[in-house]
Amino acid sequence: MRKTEQTEPDRSLAAARDHAPQMRDALRQRILADARAALPAPAAARPALGRRWRLEWRWAAPGLAGAACATLAGFWIGAAVPLAPDAPLWALAALDYLDGVALPLMGMVDPLVMEF
């Protein structure tokens, strides 16, 4: 087959291109009006920068406070040095308070009492 020869589908497509149907203006206007009606409403205006910043701060403040407390607790745990067995009595009083009140509340028992 030569390039100049046209097959039946080529001739049909060429005829369809030459005689393309035209849309009536009334139909076109109706389609455009229906499309405009289907569009979502425009988004509401964003709050002012100062107000938005306050909203974000209210959301972030509890997380920042928790992170600060965790940092301080980690620093205290890392910096606290256990007392030597021959420590003075006034230094052991704090440990007595911890053993007597805080550890039972936390559900922990002193390992020395458990006879390790």
In a domain, 29, yes or no: yes
What total number of domains does the chain contain? 1
Structural domain contains residue 11: yes
pTM here? Answer: 0.29
DSSP label at residue 48: P
Q: Is residue 109 part of a domain?
A: no
Radius of gyration of the chain (CA): 41
Residue 34 resides in a domain: yes
- Domain annotation covers residue 10: yes
Mean confidence (pLDDT) of the chain: 77
Whether residue 37 lies inside any domain: the answer is yes
32 lies in which domain range? 2-45
Rounded Cα gap, residues 4 and 11, in angstroms: 12
- pLDDT tens per residue across span 39-89: 988 877 666 666 666 767 778 888 889 999 999 988 887 777 666 667 676
Residue 91 lies in a domain: no
Assess if residue 33 is contained within a domain: yes
